[in-house]
């Protein structure tokens, strides 16, 4: 079941976004974290 997957495990198993080493989930979390620390 998709709801039983750990966040880190699931994010690490994603394919990397073009021109990146991370998948969409980690990129989203990184972007949100960066924006929230700049405010």
- Print the domain residue range for 27: 2-38
pLDDT greater than 70 at residue 7: yes
Number of domains within the chain: 1
For 20, residues 6+ apart whose C-beta sits below 8 A from its C-beta are 27
Q: Could you read off the pLDDT of 15-34 as tens digits, one per residue?
A: 999 999 999 999 999 999 99
- Whole-angstrom distance, CA of residue 15 vs CA of residue 12: 8
The answer to whether the predicted template modeling score (pTM) of the entire model surpasses 0.95 is no
Residue 25 or 38, more confident: 25
| Per-residue pLDDT, 39 | 65
Q: How far apart are CA 26 and CA 1, in angstroms?
A: 21
């Amino acid at each position: 079941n998709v709801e039983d997957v750990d966040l880190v495990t699931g994010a690490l198993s994603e394919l990397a976004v073009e021109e990146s080493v991370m998948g969409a989930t980690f990129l989203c979390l990184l972007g949100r974290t960066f924006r929230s620390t700049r405010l």
